[in-house]
Chain A
Amino acid sequence: MAQATKTRPDADPTQQRPLRRGRGLYSSAVGKKYVMAITGIVLMGYVLAHMVGNLKLYQGAEHMNAYGEWLREIGEPAAPREFLLWVMRVALISAALLHLHAAWGLTRLNWAARQKRYAKRSDYIAADFASRTMRWSGIIVLAFVLFHLADLTFGTANPDFEYGLVYQNVVASFERPVVAVFYIVANLALGVHLYHGAWSIFQSLGAANPRFNALRRGFAIAFTLVVVGGNVSFPIAVMTGVVS
């Protein structure tokens, strides 16, 4: 009977303070992984759209700056200027904050789950470089995003910044080699993050189906190559003088 198993010796180590407290979906690690996956999809949609939009760099200053202006105008006259832009910004910032908060909660749980580490370094069989470095690749991308905003949105990190001149600001930014190298390194980190994340989403959302499982890795690789390939081409184009 169930009652018979309730009394246990005090020394039972499994009766220690539980790693997880609270109930409800978000207090559970499985729930946090759903949040990681869904906010991950939102952020993936953004990085893809951001890369595609920036391809206008290759069409010249007029197209690029008009695209920047169009982003502020979407929704006019039904909505005020920049209204939909701010809706998107708020959604993105919320997704990023939730992604970070869930990651922090999961990380703390995982640290608590193995307080005494192996003396001999684990000889991993399946866990790849990308899956084991998600925290580091994520932190690099976060640091880059903060700089990137200061550089090209607020303009505080770009001495030649002029509001509205998107094309000129990008070219001026990438003409500083340190910025261009940081941009490329951060995009490679983003690629490593996406390589595991875009695959991992399906597993976290419980979308496993024998018909599609083999395609999940291919999707992650293709998505990563498209986004990182497009992004990395921009500083290279500026540095080699293709775009000036």
Chain B
Amino acid sequence: MSEQVINLTLKVWRQPGPDAEGEFKEYDAPGINTEMSFLEMLDVVNERLIERGEEPIAFDHDCREGICGSCGMIINGQAHGPMRNTATCQLHMRKFADGDTIVIEPFRATAFPVIRDLVVNRSAFDRIIEAGGYITAPTGSAPEANLIPVPKEVADTAFDAAACIGCGACVAACPNGAAQLFTAAKVAHLNLLPQGQPERWTRVQAMVDEMEAHFGSCSNHRECEAVCPKGISIDFIAMMNRDYLKAQFKNRRLASQSG
């Protein structure tokens, strides 16, 4: 596809601070190169705003290569915009047509309060990780990798879960504001591997309980899976539901290390 220049209109949520009232503001964005990423397009718009002496649009970003999970916004009613398996930073302007109006909103959930414009506080995810998204083990030099055999299929599945970058799109897209896909991915990542077994039951219980202090419940809408930039499957949610139930009834003093 050859390089083109398109003219856009942006309707962007502007909110000066956490307690301020927000509103949509319209901006003309002429002369956008279709090879720009969505964030580069916002950079161009921001430079023009700064030149005019206006406040630039605040948005989160870091690696801009789809692996850090910092960026994320609702673009035309969809988390991370119209391209599947893609974070906002990897969405390119060639997905839009000349003359389009693009509506940009922050991720919305009670647990994701807006800090400014499109930047939201996703610390609630950190609370879930603190509840059990780790392995309690002495650190030090890495052990010999082949000491603990892991079946290839299991390693692959654990890796699929571990691909979660914690961007929050699942929560943003869920009609219930639920964090099931994020939590399930983080639970499954460790619960599938031998290193995660000693804390398997306490982990799933603590992480689900913490999740429910902040987020909604799962109605199996599958909207999270559809917007996930890493294509994480809702099968992990089923696995988490099962482990959560087992965790309620396990005699932990007698629990063997396997499922």
A146 CB–B CB distance under 8 Å: no
**Closest approach, in angstroms, between the C-beta of A130 and any C-beta of chain B?**
10
Partner pick for B111 among A14, A123, A132, A208, CB 8 A cutoff: A14
Interface size on B (CB < 8 Å)?
A: 54
How far is A25 from B245 in the complex, measured between Cα atoms in Å?
8
Residue of A nearest to B233 (CB): A208
How far is A142 from B163 in the complex, measured between Cα atoms in Å?
43
How far is A141 from B85 in the complex, measured between Cα atoms in Å?
38
Query: Do residues B108 and A29 form an inter-chain contact, with CB atoms below 8 A?
Result: no
B177 CB–A CB distance under 8 Å: yes
Q: Tell me which residues across on chain B come within 8 A of A110, comparing CB atoms.
A: 175-178, 216-217, 219
Query: Do residues A199 and B217 form an inter-chain contact, with CB atoms below 8 A?
Result: no
How far is A33 from B218 in the complex, measured between Cα atoms in Å?
8
How far is A113 from B130 in the complex, measured between Cα atoms in Å?
20
Residue of A nearest to B249 (CB): A25
Partner pick for B239 among A5, A119, A206, CB 8 A cutoff: A206
Query: Do residues B245 and A34 form an inter-chain contact, with CB atoms below 8 A?
Result: yes
If A28-B212, A33-B241, A113-B109 touch, whether A14 touches B124 (CB-CB below 8 Å) is yes
Q: Tell me which residues across on chain B come within 8 A of A70, comparing CB atoms.
A: none
Query: Do residues A208 and B108 form an inter-chain contact, with CB atoms below 8 A?
Result: no
A163 CB–B CB distance under 8 Å: no
Point out which of B113, B217, B218 has the most chain A C-beta atoms below 10 A from its C-beta: B217
If A119-B24, A207-B238 touch, whether A29 touches B221 (CB-CB below 8 Å) is no
Residue of A nearest to B215 (CB): A113
Q: Tell me which residues across on chain A come within 8 A of B109, comparing CB atoms.
A: 113-114
Query: Do residues B244 and A134 form an inter-chain contact, with CB atoms below 8 A?
Result: no
B227 CB–A CB distance under 8 Å: yes
Partner pick for A126 among B77, B113, B208, B225, CB 8 A cutoff: B225
Partner pick for B245 among A112, A125, A131, A206, CB 8 A cutoff: A206
**Chain A 109-152 interface residues, beta-carbon cutoff 8 Å to B:** 109-110, 112-127, 131-132, 134
How far is A44 from B126 in the complex, measured between Cα atoms in Å?
40
**Chain B 95-125 interface residues, beta-carbon cutoff 8 Å to A:** 103, 105, 108-111, 113, 121, 123-124
**Closest approach, in angstroms, between the C-beta of A14 and any C-beta of chain B?**
5
A244 CB–B CB distance under 8 Å: no
**Closest approach, in angstroms, between the C-beta of B20 and any C-beta of chain A?**
13
Q: Tell me which residues across on chain A come within 8 A of B214, comparing CB atoms.
A: 14, 18-19, 113
Residue of B nearest to A199 (CB): B220
Q: Tell me which residues across on chain B come within 8 A of A34, comparing CB atoms.
A: 241, 245
A110-B177, A114-B176 are known; give 8 further A-B pairs, CB within 8 A: A14-B111, A14-B123, A14-B124, A28-B209, A122-B78, A124-B221, A206-B242, A213-B235
Q: Which residues from chain B sit less than 8 Å from chain A, CB to CB?
A: 13, 18, 24, 74, 76-78, 103, 105, 108-111, 113, 121, 123-124, 126-127, 130, 173, 175-178, 208-209, 212-223, 225-227, 234-235, 237-245, 248
Q: Which residues from chain A sit less than 8 Å from chain B, CB to CB?
A: 2, 5, 12-14, 18-20, 23, 25, 28-34, 106, 109-110, 112-127, 131-132, 134, 196, 199-200, 202-208, 210, 213
* 6 residue pairs from A and B, CB less than 8 Å apart: A2-B130, A29-B216, A30-B218, A30-B244, A31-B245, A34-B245
